[in-house]
Structure 1
Amino acid sequence: MSGVWVELGRTCSGAALALAVLVAAVVVGLVPAHAQERILSFVSDVTVERNGDLAVTETIRVEAEGRDIRRGILRDFPTIYTRPNGTRVEVGFDVLGVERDGRTEPFAREVLTNGVRLRIGSADTLLRSGPHTYVIRYRTTRQIGFFDDVDELYWNATGTGWTFGIDVAEARITLPEAVPFRRSALYTGPQGATGRDATVIEQQPGRIVFRTTRPLPPRNGLTVATAWQKGVVAPPTDTQKLGWWLTDNLALVAALAGGIALLGYYLLAWLKVGRDPPRGTIIPLFGPPEGFTAAGVRYVWRMGFDDRTFAAAIVDLGVRGHLTVADVGKITRVSPHHGGRPLPAPERAVTQKLFAAGAVTLEQENHERIAAAKSALQQGLDAAYRGVLFRPNTGWAVVGTLGWIALVAAIAVTTFVTRGDNFGGPVLIGMLFGSVGTFAGTLLLRGFVQGQVKLPTFIVGAIFFLVFGGLGTMALTTSADTLIDAVPGLVPVALAPVVALAFSLLKAPTRQGRVVMDQIAGFRQYLGTAEEDRLEYLTPPEKTPELFEKFLPYAIALDVENTWATRFAGVLAAAGVGAAAATAWYSSDRGYDDPVGWTDKLGSGLTDTVASSSTAPGSSSGSSGSDGGGSSGGGGGGGGGSGW
């Protein structure tokens, strides 16, 4: 009897083991299917309304396992497209509601570079593992294509941006009237593919349903296109189209309209106040305009004040017997001298400020006295000639600059409003870098051309501003999808040279000033002519050391001191004196027998010394998709998503 029980026990144990193995096999077989996060089904139900709007309900059933899908899903929807001509199209996208498993679900709307992201779910709530069904209802506009013979919906039902595979995808399209469809097409696969892994499972007048025939891998989608007779959906009016275009391309409109307006303003300003009176006939003159000092000549000739104006005044004061200049090593010392010829008010103010505490060395530690003397000279020249012989028209230039700044602000605001932070940020940075770099670079180039900026300074500055402006331009072009996208940011950069040069271009002499400037031009012609044979027929004054000294301040003022010195090299050599020795007001421990070297020291060297010593330390001066011409990912709708 005991043997029977033993045999029965063995039989039961074998059956239990077999059952356990079977259960384990079933469990092992089922685990991978449940553990893989994916979209079980994706249904895009589209109702076309008579006004062209689409009412869309997306039903997305997902398998969540707490890896990528922990709190919910992300649904990206593109709203910004680019036409073949590069201009923008922005479709409407209004979310009507979101549900999960039959209950309202919270969501947040985030702006992307080319559209909108819905972050569905709550940061405080973790999903249970298993299937969940999301329903997203929204309305979108401007998705219908209006062709000559048909109207069409080319609809990217799922989008090709999903990071999950899709087991089954379905697109349902319902028209406002029960009319037959003229043609239809479908595409599956990644962006741009023309796969046909789908079919039409239902078609009747006014309704058509597409469904995939095999699962879609990640980054694959279903796109459908269908066309129907015209008249079912109302096309947009011309006014609507214009309004849409202006709204879509608001930054471009602001940039072009603002740029044209700014150029128009500058043209108007130049025509009104910036045009010079016609020049007279320029003939060589053998002296300055009557009553003009060297500083006055340069101030009127340039229609403004600079460091060389002050340097010319220092040399002129020396020639007139009011100061002496001594160069000892690298130090330039200027001392008062009494008994000189009477001075005009501007130069008299210079001596009062410069020698308020006696002699002064042109060093930075004396910047307050030197700057005060410069300021006194400028104020005196302003009072004597500004508004009398020329009008700076600074106010007109300032208004233009403010308009330029307002244009930059308008482009930045419209870009941020229409494109969001992701695109607006690079555009703003690019505009600022590019505009400032180009503006400053233009001023640097102008200074170099006019001889106010030395070559080493120009090279260093040019490299800096090229890099500065280049970074801005690069930020604009690389962040833009098309060249048209970059145009709004590039407009202020292109206008920067105009804004920078306007301060000098809008200056204009008065009629009285034109006469004086013609005289200055004639005098400069005499001072700066190296070929003396050209002047002989006019009987110029005899060349003497005294004449060389007398007009030297004017040659410095008019940037022709080296030519003037070259003409007198033989005269000074015949007199047995060096260039420096020909003057009683200048001394140096180096001696300057070469007149060109000495005058260059006085002109350029003294100008540089004045500039550095008057500045305080630490400061500075399409085809139809339904006709077979489409692809997966084409048309409206689309996007993609993931979990979070």
Structure 2
Amino acid sequence: MVAQLLARASARRRAARGVGRRMLVVLAVVGLAAGAVAAGAPAASASTLVSGSSAMALAPASAPQRGVNDFTFSSFDGRYELGIDDEGHSTLRTTETFVAEFPEFDQNRGIQRAIPLDYQGHPTDLELVSVTDADGTPREYESETEDGNLVVTIAGDDYVHGEQSYVLTYTQRDVTGYFENTDDDEFYWDTNGTLWRQPFAEHRTTTVVAPELVPALTGDTGCFVGAQGDGTSCATERSDDGGAAVFTTENTELGPGENVTVGIAFTAGTFTPRDMSYLSSGWSWVQLIALALSLLLIVLAIVYRVTRLRDAPGRPTIIPEYTPPPGVDLFLASMVMKKTARATAASFVDLAVRHNIQIVEQEGGIVLKKPVYWLHLLTAQGLNAAELEFARIVFGKDLAPDAWKELKKNDTPLAKALYKLTQATRKRAIEEGYFKKGVSGRSSLLLLAAFVLAGVGVVCGIQAADLGLGGALPILFVFAAVVTVPVVIAISFRAPLTAKGSELRDYIKGIRMYIEWAEEERYRVLQSPEGALRTGVNAPDWGQVVKLYEKLLPYAVLLDLETEWAKVLGTYYESLGSRPDWYGGGDGAFNAYLFASSISAMSASTASSYSGSSVSSSSGFSGGGGFSGGGGGGGGGGGV
């Protein structure tokens, strides 16, 4: 039967299958924005080794290179002790003996050995036990993980010459697999690996099957020799030693890139397969606990928000307001209404309707058809301290009369200065009693806990993903852990409105209500005794109505209602046969629609520009699909 299987093996070729992992995670802890990406690298094809500070790619055997790889191996002896642990998982202790023949001149300091870390998509828990020479004398070495391999660099500071021996001993777990096409468990293993540039004058292997596994042997064995994918068979001999079964391969000469793969079949179910489910690792459980605690932390932050950080109660009922709030500048109003992006545009209009500046619209050129807006300083009289600071930012510290300022699309210095003004207004709003301080000890503790739990979730998720557990679940939970931090910040770091701040907020909401009313409703309010008393407007004196409506235009801009309000205001200008002296633009008769469009365009342009923001075989060997390089283990190496 074995002869038939080996005959069929020479007619079949399959690509090697192996899976390795590397995890790339970018984690910024202050913002914690992170990601984690799993990338595959063939476990049985460790094609990249590190030499010094540069990468040494292993070239095909047909392209030999002079240098540190220009030497040979006189022999390779591999001893593989296959056993089973108390949980039914396969175990392997490997002892590899390489005898290298280096030139007598100074070329090499030693060798590198790349050992695949994974088998059939799961880690083998590889542990390097020792690195010595043939006499058992420890050799100097360094090891690192690279492209799914443990790369062991066995070299010292001095050059080595002539015959040198290197003995590596390491252990692994879960090195067998079940193959559906053969319905058996198999130890299907590459020995030296297919990625050596050097030839081996002699190659021998000894595989020792532990006595407790001997009854499960089916009697099927395989041996394949050659380059990757080569199905040429080689002989395997069995002997018994103290109850153990010993399988040896014949003395074989190998060329560069050639390998010997051995296969031993066992009854299906002999070995317990590795559990690759998400919950099979303690890392996953810790990540889940951290995630659950993060959700609890968010709930606590919400409770803290609604109990300690809620705004003070305002008016029980919003009533219409038709005059600007006294003693409040537009930047402060924008802070209370959370409309800081529109504060600059609203302030320009406010200074204009108060005749401190004039807004001048200039038609765009042939290429740039959009209009250009200029600000013309008329006087600084009547401005409070905050408004004076704003005017100095725009026109200069001396506030020279008749100064002009073009509103450019990209004016970085002005934008930066307005951003600083916004930050200063935020501080001023707290100092003047509109807001409470938003950062407390409880907020800081919540944030600290969020950082700790997010860090635990990220670290455990990386470990679980590196073990290949649960597919994308560990990475999904990593992102969930990272999101906890900004969520906690958004919930528990806010400055709640005081009673004074809530009153101002509701007052401005009253202005919104008045602006959104139908004109008949507004007119009826102005005709009422209270309206006449508060505004001084004797309806139907349309001139006085215009002056009142002009004062509300800055708040319409702040509330993003300038288009509708400018249309109302423009209609009054049109009916009076006048035009606003604070807004210059356009020729000919006044047009209410064009006026509204211009105010809307200027506001939108200003708000956007000056917002103040900143491969193992899938078939078993005994099914006729065996070939060299198709098993686990293997790898390669080179000179140093």
In the TM superposition, what is the alpha-carbon distance from 1:546 to its structure 2 partner?
2.0
Q: Does the 8 Å CA contact 1:269/1:396 hold for their aligned counterparts?
A: no
Taking structure 1 as the reference length, the TM-score comes to 0.60
Change (3 A) 1:564 1:258: farther
Aligned to 1:159: 193
Counterparts of 1:235-384 in structure 2 under 5 Å? 245-246=281-282, 262=294, 265-273=297-305, 285=320, 287=322, 293=328, 295=330, 296-302=332-338, 306=340, 308-313=342-347, 315-316=349-350, 319=353, 323-325=356-358, 332-334=375-377, 336=379, 338=381, 348-351=385-388, 359=399, 377-384=425-432
For the pair 1:524 / 2:515, whether they are aligned, the reply is no
1:595 pairs with 2:595: yes
CA distance in 1, matches of 2:415, 2:304: 40
Secondary structure of 2:486's aligned partner: helix
Partner of 2:117: 79
TM-score by length of 2: 0.61
Deviation at 1:415, TM superposition (A): 9.6
User: Which segment drifts farther, 495-504 or 181-190?
Assistant: 495-504
Q: How far has the Cα of 1:551 moved from its partner? A: 0.9
Look up the match of 2:7: none
User: How far apart, CA to CA, are the structure 2 residues paired with 1:408 and 1:587?
Assistant: 54
Amino acid at match of 2:560: D
Aligned equivalents of 1:242 and 1:500: distance in 2? Answer: 26
Q: Structure 1, residues 90-141: CA drift from partner, whole Å, max 9, x if none? A: 513223232157765433323323121222243422322xx55433333334
What amino acid maps onto 2:639 in structure 1?
Answer: G
Equivalent in the alignment of 2:133: 99
Three-state SS of the structure 1 residue aligned to 2:337 is: helix
Q: Kindly report which structure 2 residues correspond to 1:18-29, keeping only aligned pairs within 5 A, or say none.
A: none
- Opposite residue 553 of structure 2, the aligned amino acid is L
Equivalent residue runs for 1:354-433 within 5 Å:
359=399, 377-384=425-432, 386-387=434-435
Cα offset, 1:554, TM superposition? 0.9
In the alignment, which of 213, 221, 228 is matched to residue 185 of structure 1? 221
The residue aligned with 1:47 is: 81
Q: Distance in 2 between matches of 1:491 and 1:170?
A: 47
| Matched residue, 2:575 | 574
**TM-aligned CA distance change 1:501 to 1:38, over 3 Å:** same
1:99 counterpart letter in structure 2: D
Q: Residue 78 of structure 2 aligns to which amino acid in structure 1?
A: S
Q: Aligned letter for 2:512?
A: R
State the 1:537 CA deviation: 10
Aligned residues of 1:353 and 1:369 also touching (Cα < 8 A): no
Shift in Å, 1:211: 1.5
Paired residue type of 1:308: R
State the one-letter code of the partner of 1:198: C
Which aligned pairs between 1:67-216 and structure 2 lie closer than 5 A?
Answer: 70-81=108-119, 83=121, 89-99=123-133, 104-128=138-162, 132-143=164-175, 153-177=187-211, 179-180=214-215, 182-183=217-218, 184-188=220-224, 193=229, 195-204=231-240, 205-211=243-249, 215-216=253-254
In structure 2, C-alpha distance between the alignment counterparts of 1:369 and 1:74, rounded to whole Å: 60
Contact kept in structure 2, 1:221 and 1:632, CA below 8 Å: yes
- For residue 316 of structure 1, report the CA deviation from its aligned partner: 3.7
Query: How far is 1:62 from its partner?
Result: 4.1
Moved more, 275-284 or 36-45: 275-284
Shift of 1:569: 2.4
Structure 2 vs 1, CA of residues 122 and 374 (structure 1 numbering), >3 Å: closer, same or farther? closer
Residue of structure 1 in register with 2:561 after alignment: 560
SS in 2 for 1:122: strand
Aligned mates of 2:456, 2:244 — CA distance in 1: 46
Partner of 2:259: 221
Does the CA contact (< 8 Å) of 2:329 and 2:387 recur in 1?
Answer: no
Residues 191 and 259 of structure 2 are in contact (CA less than 8 Å); yes or no, is this contact kept in structure 1?
yes
Aligned-pair distance for 1:176?
3.9
Give unpaired runs (5+ residues) of structure 1. 1-34, 424-479, 613-619
Q: Secondary structure at the match of 1:350?
A: helix
Asked if the contact 2:447/2:488 (under 8 Å) is kept, the reply is no
CA distance in 1, matches of 2:146, 2:193: 15
- Distance change (3 Å), C-alpha of 1:538 and 1:605: same
Q: Which amino acid aligns with 1:332?
A: L
SS of equivalent residue, structure 2 residue 256 = coil
Contact kept, 8 Å, 2:124 with 2:173, in 1: the verdict is no
Aligned CA distance change for structure 1 residues 186 and 258 (closer, same or farther; 3 Å) = farther
Residue of 624, 630, 641 corresponding to 2:637: 641
- Give CA deviations for 1:365-422 in whole Å, capped at 9, x if unaligned: 899997886566444433456446xx86798888787778778877887899999xxx
- Alignment coverage as a number of residue pairs: 513
Q: Report if aligned partners of 2:189, 2:634 keep a CA contact under 8 Å in 1.
A: yes
Letter in 2 for 1:524: R
Residues 291 and 480 of structure 2 are in contact (CA less than 8 Å); yes or no, is this contact kept in structure 1?
no
- Residue 573 (structure 1) shift: 1.2
What is the letter of the counterpart of residue 359 of structure 1? Answer: L
What SS class does the counterpart of residue 125 from structure 1 fall into?
Answer: strand
2:486 aligns with: 499
Tell me by how many angstroms 1:214 deviates: 5.8
How far residue 555 of structure 1 moved from its aligned partner, in angstroms, is 0.3
Which amino acid letter does the alignment assign opposite residue 570 of structure 1?
T
Q: Which has the higher contact order (CA 8 A, sep 6+)?
A: 2
Q: Is the 8 A contact 1:562 1:600 kept in 2?
A: yes
Once the 2 structures are TM-superposed, how far is the Cα of residue 77 of structure 1 from its aligned partner? 1.0
Cα distance in 2 between the residues matched to 1:185 and 1:203: 13
Following the alignment from structure 2 to structure 1, what is the Cα–Cα distance between the partners of residues 416 and 481?
39
Return the letter of the residue paired with 1:299. M
Do the aligned partners of 1:177 and 1:232 also contact (CA within 8 Å) in 2? Answer: no
The structure whose residues are more often helix, as a share, is 1
Alignment correspondent of 1:440:
none
Alpha carbons of structure 1 residues 45 and 554: separation in structure 2 relative to 1, 3 Å = same
Query: Following the alignment from structure 1 to structure 2, what is the Cα–Cα distance between the partners of residues 497 and 332?
Result: 46
RMSD over aligned CA atoms reads 5.7
In structure 2, C-alpha distance between the alignment counterparts of 1:190 and 1:527, rounded to whole Å = 86
Q: Which deviations, in whole Å up to 9, do the C-alpha atoms of 1:464-513 show, x marking residues without a partner?
A: xxxxxxxxxxxxxxxx9999589749945995698389648975966967
The residue aligned with 2:29 is none
Distance 2:583 2:202 in 1: 97
Q: Give, in angstroms, the shift of residue 556 of structure 1.
A: 1.2
- Asked whether the equivalents of residues 115 and 149 of structure 2 are also in contact (C-alpha less than 8 Å), the reply is yes
Indicate conservation of the 8 Å contact 1:91/1:143, yes or no: no
**Pairs within 5 Å for 1:448-463:** none
SS of the residue corresponding to residue 309 of structure 1 reads helix
Larger mean CA deviation between 326-335 and 131-140 belongs to: 326-335
CA distance in 2, matches of 1:53, 1:289: 82
- Mapped partners of 1:324, 1:357: distance in 2: 16
| Alignment of 1:60 onto 2:98 | yes
Kindly tell me: are residues 381 and 127 of structure 1, through their superposed partners in 2, closer, same or farther at Cα, counting changes over 3 Å?
Answer: same
- Among the aligned pairs, what percent are the same residue? 22
Aligned AA (1:92): L
